């Protein structure tokens, strides 16, 4: 009690003491606030740059070599070498290709309006990414992106049924002989075309023919299994 009384007496004896304490308090508080803001900004900036990619991306270059060697088509031998590095948590293969998307059935009219809109001027080009679900969960934020849609009350019905098996066929699919190919769609792209889980979409891709050395079109039908939301506009609007 005596120490508290003595401290308070000398603290209030001179006004400069109070001013100094208030100044130190404000300065430390401002420093903590600025550091918190900068830390959050750096995290957001890092996430924006990285997006849904892993920390390291290895892309093969299929060019003619002097020794006429051909790059391997199977990525597993290379991935095994990468995983053997103790600094690597995991590695996942990806097959990336481009295509033009068009909903089928009743949604086709919506797509036609969108394509011809004078203000958008957008070609419905999407990036198709083939993944190994288990490996992909280990290297990217896909699982949290799928869960973000499921846990949002306003969009829960557009989420996948099972996070462990996101490409599980939606219930009520017609048995019309069409081969099943599941697809997960970025939330912004999903909303633009007013898709629903179970909808079928046409994806027109171009496939090179090594024999004739020409490019042939290939029309595939995919079934929408759900939407994902990474929070990055470039990913949510262009990737399926």
* Residue ranges of domains in the chain: 2-50, 90-236
Q: Which residues contact 5 (CB under 8 A, 6 or more apart)?
A: none
What is the reported pLDDT for 23? Answer: 83
> Under DSSP, is residue 222 helix (H, G, I), strand (E, B) or coil?
strand
Q: Using CA of residue 140, residue 144, residue 147, residue 149, what is the dihedral sign?
A: negative
| Whole-number Å distance between alpha carbons of 216 and 214 | 6
What are the pLDDT digits (tens) for 97-155? 888 776 555 444 444 444 444 444 455 778 888 888 888 888 888 888 888 888 888 88
| Whole-number Å distance between alpha carbons of 180 and 177 | 9
Lowest mean pLDDT among 10-24, 103-117, 208-222: 103-117
What are the pLDDT digits (tens) for 146-161? 888 888 888 888 888 8
> Strands 214-228, 182-186: parallel, antiparallel or unpaired by DSSP?
parallel
Strands of 94-103's sheet in order across: 125-131, 94-103, 200-209, 214-228, 182-186
What are the pLDDT digits (tens) for 178-188? 778 888 988 88
Q: Which of 148, 150, 157, 170 is nearest to 224 (CA)?
A: 170
Give the pLDDT band (50/70/90) at residue 208: confident
In this prediction, residues 27-36 reach a mean pLDDT of 87
């Amino acid at each position: 009690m005596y120490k508290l009384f003595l401290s308070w007496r000398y603290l209030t004896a001179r006004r400069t003491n109070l001013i100094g304490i208030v100044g130190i308090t404000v300065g430390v508080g401002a420093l903590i606030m600025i550091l918190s803001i900068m830390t959050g900004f750096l995290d957001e900036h890092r996430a924006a740059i990285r997006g849904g990619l892993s920390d390291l991306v290895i892309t093969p270059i299929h060019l003619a070599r002097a020794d006429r060697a051909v790059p391997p088509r199977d990525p597993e031998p290379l991935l095994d070498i990468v995983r053997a590095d103790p600094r690597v948590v995991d590695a996942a293969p990806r097959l990336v290709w481009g295509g033009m998307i068009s909903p089928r059935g009743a949604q086709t009219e919506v797509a036609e309006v969108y394509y011809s809109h004078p203000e958008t001027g957008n070609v419905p080009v999407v990036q198709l990414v083939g993944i190994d679900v288990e490996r992909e969960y280990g290297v990217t934020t896909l699982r949290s992106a799928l869960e973000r849609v499921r846990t949002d009350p306003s969009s829960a019905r557009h989420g996948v049924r099972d996070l462990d098996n996101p490409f599980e066929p939606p219930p009520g699919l017609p048995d019309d002989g069409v081969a099943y190919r599941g697809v997960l769609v970025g939330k912004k792209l999903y909303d633009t075309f007013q898709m629903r889980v179970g909808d079928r979409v046409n994806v027109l891709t171009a496939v090179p023919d090594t024999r004739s050395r020409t490019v042939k079109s290939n029309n595939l039908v995919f079934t929408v299994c759900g939407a994902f939301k990474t929070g990055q506009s470039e990913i949510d609007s262009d990737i399926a």
